[in-house]
Homo-oligomer: A and B are copies of this chain.
């Protein structure tokens, strides 16, 4: 078999069954072999940032990697921002980057560039096959690497990137590689015991949860620990996936604004990290600390959800978790604002919804409003690179076809990877996008003040987004769309589209 077929067979055997792609000439043999390996689902994206973001969203929900298939350095470049977010999310992913044939490289043809250097900025592992015989084994290594722990990269990347010259794909003599299955994450008894001892002897302890600790088992264990020891609980600022809603313990998330986060952490003498990193401000500000760990507070790294579960057995063997109660509020009426929009969404949030949140400033009321909504998953913008929401929603919908996906989306960031709507239409995905249309990069208006920059008329104009019409934009990609001018509009439209399959978009006009 040729290299392309060996690669696809290796991926599928390793549990990687979706490939988000925008291919080019150098990837044509991999595209052609999708017919001979029907277990691989190819999903066309009209821009590589959609492909990488969709692979991220898929893996956050499926708990196994998707692959991407991208066209040389520029294709990878277009996907880098969402690979950055996926790296920060610790998302497993396998990128296949097509390249010129090995013998073509010396000619420095127009599309040639340093793919490995670019890939290195986001990847845990970068490989390059030189012969068809290597293709299967290297693909297996890439999959195995993405399935393994996020070791070796300070930001926790689980992204493996394999560069595949075209002749490696079209040459014969290849065979599938064998993927080493992932070992389940294991607990660290020493750390569990050390933290147990700490909680038994110290006051003013706070557990900061992140990563896999924000799924239901981790939340349950943390709630039991809190009940038994009096430790406080918080979730990291932007979790890759946070299970929430009625029936599971509720955790507030650490705030974006440094002052607010400092208030949440004030008085903590022992900060215990469970899958989270020590908190820092998102950006630096003049005369403001970057480090959010309170003065005099000691930081302890407990580790993953498995260790957290062990800690709960040690300190809270008989404690019961406190679950959020179902208190889904009624629908508001009248003016549409970020606050009433949040109330509408909370009131109508369907059971088992997947919420993809890139609402930025317009989303500031969402978390509190939905705390008592039916059980759902909340996927956040992990790396701060805007343009993640619509692709992540697309991938999450492919991972979970039976669950409704609700993408809460700011207008400015929607314009980054709007092409995701086309894939949602093409694949018939059950995604409802709510655009919070405030016609500005509102967060930057705030940040301009926070960094102490004066800014006059010309600079303020650079933060305005007049003239966008998301109803037209969505229809241009085959997604039915409506505009909501009042809270009542939003409620009626949202209730309507949630009852229908397939993608929809609602443009919510907010101040």
Q: Which residues of A contact B (CB under 8 A)?
A: 21, 23-26, 28-29, 31-35, 38, 42, 44, 46-47, 49, 73-75, 77-78, 80-81, 84-85, 88, 100-101, 103-104, 107-114, 117-118, 120-122, 154-155, 166-167, 170, 238, 277, 280-284, 286, 290-291, 382-385, 387, 412, 415-416, 418-419, 422, 425-426, 443-444, 447-448, 450-459, 461-478
Contact = CB atoms under 8 A, between A and B. Distances in A.
A125 B286 CA distance: 29
Given A77-B84, A447-B28, A453-B31, A47 B416 contact: yes
15 contacts: A24-B447, A25-B282, A25-B451, A35-B457, A42-B459, A46-B465, A74-B384, A75-B385, A77-B77, A107-B280, A109-B290, A111-B282, A170-B451, A426-B467, A472-B473
Contact of A290 (B77, B103, B459): B103
B154 A108 contact: yes
Given A80-B78, A456-B35, A121 B111 contact: no
Given A23-B462, A103-B284, A448 B77 contact: no
A425 B113 contact: no
Nearest to A29: B453
A461 B108 CA distance: 31
Interface centre among A26, A49, A290, A451 (most CB of B within 10 A): A451
Given A74-B85, A104-B281, A104-B284, 8 more contacts: A34-B459, A44-B464, A49-B78, A84-B111, A104-B280, A110-B384, A111-B283, A166-B284
Contacts of A456: 32, 35
A129 to B, nearest CB: 15
B35 A455 contact: yes
Contact of A25 (B42, B283, B382): B283
Nearest to A111: B384
Nearest to A108: B154
A286 B416 contact: no
A467 B457 contact: no
Given A23-B462, A238-B110, A282-B111, A73 B475 contact: no
